[in-house]
Amino acid sequence: MYVVIDKKSKTILHMMNSRPGEDRKPEDVYPGFDPKTMEMGRAEEQSIPAKFTIEHGKVRSLEPEPPPPKEPTAAEELASLKEAKLAEISHQAFEQRAKLIPDHELTNAALGIYDEDREDMIRETVKAFRAEYHRLETAIHKARSRKELESMVARFPTKPVGHSGKER
């Protein structure tokens, strides 16, 4: 982007988009350009910083550089890993439960469509998945290292659960 400013007041008089490799003369950018009272600069981007100066025909920002992103502390990194592990376990629980009991069967059981034994089996299976998730959730919150988190394995039911809480 080209910009023409008044030398004395530093007021922007004119701005014009530029193209890569294009080099225009001040008169081509701003007809009536007066080198005694005006200055032209070119910015690399198609925008001009709020605070800038023109040096040797180039726009230079006067705004302070943003600080580099800070490295997360060990505690922040562990908290992030715990959050990711919980999300992974939750996704795994829903995915594996849906293989045993699809969502439409949960809805049918809630509506009372199935007989009592089948409803109990669905209820106990869902309870077993929830119990395993909560067991892991507690263990994840207590974890003190990445290695400890990575070693945690979910033991979700692989078969529907009966009245006694045992897999059928």
For 71-134, give the DSSP string.
PPPHHHHHHHHHHHHHHHHHHHHHHHHHHHS-HHHHHHHHTT-S-HHHHHHHHHHHHHHHHHHH
Q: Give the mean pLDDT of the chain.
A: 92
Stated pTM of the model: 0.59
pLDDT band for position 20 (cuts 50, 70, 90): confident
Predicted pLDDT at 165: 53
Predicted pLDDT at 167: 56
Q: Taking each helix axis from N to C terminus, what angle separates 74-100 and 116-142, rounded to the nearest 10 degrees?
A: 170
User: Per-residue pLDDT tens for 80-139?
Assistant: 999 999 999 999 999 999 999 999 999 999 999 999 999 999 999 999 999 999 999 999
